[in-house]
Structure 1
Amino acid sequence: MIDLNLYDPFEKMQFSDTNCFLCGTIITPEHRAPVFAEWLQEQYGLRNKELLLLDKSVTTFDKLTIPCCDRCHTHYLLPLEAKVEYAAAKGIEGLRALEDQELFQWIGKMYYGTLITELIKEASPLIMPEYAVSEDPKMLGKFRTFFQVLQSLRVPMVFSDFLPCTLFLLEVNPSEDSLPFEYQDELTTMCFSIKLGSVVIVCKLLDNGIIRSAMGKLYQLTQGKQLHPIQVAEFKARVFYAAYIFSVVPEYFIRPVKPEDDHLVLDTLIDDITNEIFNPWEMVAYAHMLEEMLKPWDVREQEILKNPGQPLSFLLDDENNFKEVPHYQKQ
């Protein structure tokens, strides 16, 4: 019989090494699953690369693991990882062939795994973070909502006419690119990007595809193009800044379950009557984000805002057409 009951660790803040992150089953501390899959670590040489956590402690990719029971690991996580590994080996067309919901689950697991690590560590941090996640009711409410839809990993779930995230897939020009793997995440804005060879996936979790709609025209211009890495950096800056000013949290509602049902159906609602979807776009704040993304090319804010009405862009020309950037040399 299929278990359609959802697990809610947020109700009692049940974040520990003795509860499976996905179903809540009591486990021993030895039951772990990697946040970044074994195949990723192997393929991109990540095992001993360092990661800085919010409490200023340092871990490595191979040590970043989450409590996970054998059943969830074997039946849900490993099959998904095998699918993504197979798709990634085929490049951008392989990843595009995956179901969007599968990419959402894959990215969501890595994002949530990092979050769970932070929540567990906040019980005994090396240095107490300035803004402890566990002490922010608004953020916890957002994470709780996200975990509700992430459980589609374990509980068969159909999203009615929506996907709980925005997904972008970009292809990098291999002749201009020497970076095999890269990832960035923003815990509070729920934005994530990961580079697998020549493909970059950029994701904003928990926006129901609104940022995808807002950036649809620009995204369309990038399709079928091999982008210079500096163009990818600008695209990421636009998505990460849009996530920063995104100001609503969707609500999800489970339709009544009948005895014969073998999956849950979720509907969604976003309050765009009493709340603005986006806070105002502030050019200086966007320039800060873009400068951060363009650090490898030493492009400074002063150059970005040389014309404040039309900030520097490597993606669009003055007429908002796609700009070809075959090469870029630092000034």
Structure 2
Amino acid sequence: MNHSLYNPFQTFDFRNDKCFLSGSVTSPLAVRVLPDWLLNMAGLTGNEQIKLLDESVRDYKSLIVPASAEVYAEAILPLEQKIEAAFGLGYQGVSALPEAELFRWIGKMMYSFLYIEMQGAIRLKQLSGDGMNMSQGLMHKFGNLHLMLQGIFREVEFEDFKPWSVVVVPLENAETGFSFRDEINTLIFSLKFKDFGIVACLQDNGTNKRYHQPLLDFIKDKPLSDQQFEELAARFFYSAYLFNRLPEYNVIEANGIAYIDPMPLRGIQNKPLFDEWQHKTYGQVLENFWKPYGLTLFEIIKDPKAPLSFFEQPLLPDAG
């Protein structure tokens, strides 16, 4: 895959003296991962805390990544302004956004967290300077995400495919407080706020959305309760874990545009794209998502063949 796009995973360089997106070294700005507009809209102070993979606890406003002044002014800021305007309108605005814009904004946020995690791991010598402690599969996956995110500041086109699954749903509670989840290894993310919820898989070529299509068709345009949204998110988080392919892409550059073309996901493997769905394991995931409602694993899988669901028609995948 010969191209000129910046790939920090080739040199495993996650320093603060270069732009996290473009790699340019021009006295980069310190840009907050959770932008001020989002904290203000959500009524947060920035002192709220999050635990990172190295077990350190950081407050929101301390989470920063380096970005060049040019990339920030010409690309990141306009993207943030589009998302801010959409979030201001709630579900009406967010559901009207092009999926590519949501992919870039969510991807930028997740990659920012990843950038910070990488810095911490290298600092604590949990990762060597050349990334040898990290699996080649993860390095490949993260490198592909970064490659695609360069579409924020330069022309990157996907050749008749979407590398993501993005789902935006309305919520019954129009005053839902802001919260989000992410899982870096599987590159999946969920967010709920106001009257909308978002679930996004960032590197699956749309397979998770197709996997859950029967349920998505059933709930189309129906406002979800909080429990229903968390159940939907839990299903995507679990299926992202079951997804057993590492997507590969070809990149061709012409006239300043990077064209990304997917390799067939099936490759030479005959097994399905997802490992077997297990209701008990899914129930364990669901128990974590439903923790605020006090539902235990025993209650969730009281019937081992039909886990508890808040949907009128559960439409669960067939279990192994």
* Aligned 1:270-309 pairs, distance under 5 A: 270-275=264-269, 276-309=272-305
Q: Using structure 1 for the length normalisation, give the TM-score.
A: 0.88
Name the structure 1 match of 2:172: 173
Aligned to 1:123, what secondary structure does the other structure show? helix
Check whether the contact 1:164–1:206 (CA below 8 A) recurs between aligned residues.
yes
Give the AA of the match of 2:48: K
- The answer to whether 1:265 aligns with 2:265 is no
Deviation string for 1:256-312 (max 9, x for gaps)?
52xxx2522221113314334111111211110011111011111111111111111
40, 44, 52: which is aligned to 2:42? 44
- Note if contact 2:155-2:258 (Cα within 8 Å) is conserved in structure 1: yes
- Does residue 33 in structure 1 map to residue 31 in structure 2? yes
Gap change, CA 1:213 and 1:39, over 3 Å in 2: same
CA distance in 1, matches of 2:103, 2:234: 20
**Alpha-carbon distance change, 5 to 38 in structure 1, aligned in 2, over 3 angstroms:** farther
Distance 2:16 2:263 in 1: 34
Deviation at 1:93, TM superposition (A): 2.0
Of residues 225, 247, 251, the one that matches 1:250 is 247
- 8 Å CA contact 1:49–1:61 kept in 2: the answer is yes
1:145-294 alignment to 2 at 5 Å? 145-174=144-173, 179-257=176-254, 261-275=255-269, 276-294=272-290
1:43-73 alpha-carbon deviations (Å, 9 max, x no partner): 1133111011111111111111101110111
| CA apart distance, 1:27 | 3.8
**1:317 has 2:313 as partner:** yes
Q: Relative to structure 2, which stretch is displaced further, 227-236 or 87-96?
A: 87-96
Deviation of the 1:82 alpha carbon:
0.2
Amino acid at match of 2:147: Q
The answer on whether the counterparts of 1:134 and 1:140 sit within 8 Å (CA) in structure 2 is: no
Letter in 1 for 2:275: N
Question: For each residue in 1:155-176, what CA deviation from the matched residue of structure 2 results, as whole angstroms up to 9, or x when unmatched?
Answer: 211111111110011111127x
Partner-residue secondary structure (3-state), 1:135: coil
Residue 239 of structure 2 aligns with an amino acid whose one-letter code is A
Q: CA offset at residue 135 of structure 1? A: 2.5
SS of 2:284's equivalent in the other structure is helix
2:268 is matched by which residue type in structure 1? T
Per-residue deviation, residues 222-271 of structure 1 (Å, max 9, x unmatched): 222111100111101101001010111211212352xxx25222211133
Separation of aligned partners in 1, 2:179 and 2:132: 25
Q: What is the identity, as a one-letter code, of the residue corresponding to 1:264?
A: A
Q: Say which is worse superposed, 231-240 or 4-13, in terms of deviation.
A: 4-13
Over residues 11-68 of structure 1, what are the superposed CA-to-partner deviations in whole Å (9 max), with x where a residue is unaligned? 110111111101111144x621111122101111331110111111111111111011
Residue 327 of structure 1: aligned partner: none
Contact 1:6 1:155 survives alignment (8 Å): no
Question: Structure 2 matches for 1:67-146, cutoff 5 A?
Answer: 67-125=66-124, 135-146=134-145
CA contact (8 A) 1:19 1:25 kept: yes
Between the aligned residues of both structures, percent identity stands at 31
- Residues 263 and 256 of structure 1, relative CA distance in 2, 3 Å threshold: closer
Cα distance in 2 for partners of 1:279, 1:230 equals: 26
Relative distance call for 1:84 and 1:253 in structure 2 (3 A) is same
Q: How large is the RMSD of aligned CA atoms in angstroms?
A: 2.1
Conserved? CA contact 2:173–2:226, under 8 Å: no
2:303 counterpart letter in structure 1:
N
TM-score (norm: length of structure 2)? 0.90
- Unaligned runs of at least 5 residues, structure 1: 322-331
**Worse overlay, 185-194 or 136-145:** 136-145
Alpha-carbon distance in 1 for matches of 2:265, 2:95: 31
User: Could you give the per-residue CA deviations for residues 131-186 of structure 1, whole angstroms, max 9, x where no partner exists?
Assistant: x99532221121112111111112211111111110011111127xx542000001
